[in-house]
């Protein structure tokens, strides 16, 4: 994620044509079922880092490529609303809520009400609806 973040933050690189390669890698680190060799590894910080990279991608390319936020939101909402997905996947999708939707609640709050609000915000971002 550090390499992808460095690429996205480098204003001298024209990455627009390569977003289709960077976004899937980043979303995999965000919502994959298993990350690392064992469950004891700290995959939570990797998911948080991937969420920050998604925010950077949307921040840099959101105006130039308006559908990038919609596509990312769709993938996150799909992962978040699937009850068969593990908690780690839901956490990853939830941790990306602030960068994707502008939701200002803390990522550490995983209360049911807030998670439902976040899902609504992700869905609303698909259709450019302002919930605030």
Provide the pLDDT for residue 3.
Answer: 93
Return d(Cα 48, Cα 94) in angstroms, integer. 10
Give the pLDDT means over successive 10-residue stretches in the chain (132 positions).
92 89 92 83 88 90 86 86 86 75 44 54 53 43
Q: How would you label 6-24 residue by residue, b for 16+ Cβ within 10 Å and e otherwise?
A: eebeeeeeeeeeebeebbe
Provide the pLDDT for residue 86.
Answer: 87
- Give the domain ranges of the chain: 2-126
Provide the pLDDT for residue 87.
Answer: 85
Return d(Cα 83, Cα 7) in angstroms, integer. 34
CATH superfamily for 2-126 is TAF6, C-terminal HEAT repeat domain (1.25.40.770)
Provide the pLDDT for residue 120.
Answer: 56
pTM of the model: 0.73
């Amino acid at each position: 994620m550090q390499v992808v973040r460095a690429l996205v933050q480098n204003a001298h690189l024209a990455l627009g044509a390569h977003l289709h390669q960077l976004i899937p890698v980043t979303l995999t680190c965000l919502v994959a079922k298993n990350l690392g060799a064992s469950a004891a590894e700290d995959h939570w910080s990797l998911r948080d880092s991937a969420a920050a990279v998604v925010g950077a991608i949307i921040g840099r390319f959101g105006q130039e490529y308006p559908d990038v936020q919609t596509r990312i939101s769709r993938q996150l909402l799909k992962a978040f609303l699937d009850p068969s997905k593990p908690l780690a996947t839901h956490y990853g999708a939830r941790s990306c809520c602030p960068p994707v939707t502008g939701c200002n609640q803390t990522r550490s709050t995983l209360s049911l009400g807030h998670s439902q609000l976040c899902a609504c915000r992700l869905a609303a971002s698909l259709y450019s609806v302002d919930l605030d």
